Amino acid sequence: MADEGIEKYIRPELVNFGGYAASKSPETLEGKVAVPVEDIIKLDANENPYGCSPRVNQALADYPDINIYPDSGQTELREQLQEYTGVDMRHIVAGAGSDQLIDLILRLFVEPGDEVINCIPTFAMFRFFIELCSGTPVEVPRDENFCVDVAAVKKAITKKTKVILLASPNNPTGTLMPEEDILKILDTGLPVVVDEAYYEFTGKTVAPLVGKYKNLMVLRTFSKWAGLAGIRIGYGLFPTKIADCLLRIKEPYCVNVAALVAVRESLKDIDYLMGRVKRLIAERERLFSWLKELKWLKPYPSQANFILCSVLEGGAKELQQKLEERGILVRYFDQPLLRDSIRISVGRPEENDILMETLKELGEGLND
């Protein structure tokens, strides 16, 4: 083989890097599921089933300057985000999804061998980026209600700890972190990231504390509430010193012109988008009440646009596969602290109806 031996040049810790188990794209399932691709119900990646604002589609279709690089200083975008968040633009940096900001933050703080505290189970990309920069993830288990164990976090701090990562609401558990717990962790003085990807579904935020605490960073995204997951646009609120560094270490054009247009139009259509967020919250509650009635699933209360369920009979992987065969995509987990669990993103009412009907049928099969 021509490329034999090339691995010896690869960073040893990355030769067998596990990667991220990304959600499946419906087009890759063509012919493998019982329904046509366009009828697949995608409840596996916490996307917004209503799509983006129609203003975004129109403005993208009309946009004339695709041949020109975007403003690397993100000036207009940061001004718009200042208005949206109420936080001065000197604190704001945007990226290609909040994923990119997690990456940049860790690259800014973590040298090989440094430790990053990660409260598991949580968003898998945290561990991914810690390992990508050769940091050591220090995993602190959440309690039985999936709340962060503040005392255990403090106990896990060593001289090598560089960052503490928190998500609120947490993915995949949907758990909101009380502000008093965040304050206790901020009091450690270590750099703390609070990932608020699902903020618009709760209205609860620590954004007003940014700048008051020199160690607080808050991450947000347009992927969920504004339906822009495919465009890749997120942002963070940082102490100005950190924002300055991030603006210098980011790729100059990491936020593309389509994302700039999409944010501008989304922020002109907040009422419309938040109307859909409200509908999703109502659907989440409807779905939760219904799931609670099933004897073989145990749903956990969620403050986001998804519901985590323990699968009490039949196995999570099997359930995910049976749903997939029927054209319904959900996420399953089988890892420490998250054995036999599935996460269902909340869909449109008609999608949730099909899901509920299918779960009912599968449940009848279990009792046979």
Number of residues that bind ligand PLP (CB under 6 A): 13
Report how far residue 47's alpha carbon sits from residue 289's, in angstroms, rounded to the nearest whole number: 21
Using CB under 6 A, which of 48, 80, 173, 221 touches ligand PLP? 221
Q: How far is the CB of 230 from ligand PLP (least distance, A)?
A: 9
Pick 94 or 311: Cβ nearer ligand PLP: 94
Q: Count the Cβ atoms, other than its own, within 10 Å of residue 313.
A: 13
Q: How far is the CB of 194 from ligand PLP (least distance, A)?
A: 10
Question: Looking at 30-114, which runs of residues are DSSP E strands?
Answer: 41-42, 92-95
Using CB under 6 A, which of 89, 130, 197, 263 touches ligand PLP? 197
CB under 8 Å to 355, separation ≥6 — which residues?
41, 43, 287, 323, 328, 344, 347
Helix, strand, coil share (%) of the chain residues, nearest 5: 40, 15, 40
Report how far residue 185's alpha carbon sits from residue 178's, in angstroms, rounded to the nearest whole number: 11
Using CB under 6 A, which of 163, 217, 229, 255 touches ligand PLP? 229
Scanning the structure block, which residue is given the tokens 């009490």? Answer: 312
Report how far residue 134's alpha carbon sits from residue 131's, in angstroms, rounded to the nearest whole number: 5
- Give the x/- contact pattern for ligand PLP in 119-158, rule: CB under 6 A: ----x-----------------------------------
Q: Residue 164: CA atoms inside 13 Å, Cβ hemisphere, count?
A: 28
205 binds ligand PLP (CB under 6 A): no
223 binds ligand PLP (CB under 6 A): yes
98 binds ligand PLP (CB under 6 A): yes
99 binds ligand PLP (CB under 6 A): yes
303 binds ligand PLP (CB under 6 A): no
- Interface with ligand PLP by CB under 6 A: which residues? 46, 97-99, 123, 167, 171, 195, 197, 221, 223, 229, 234
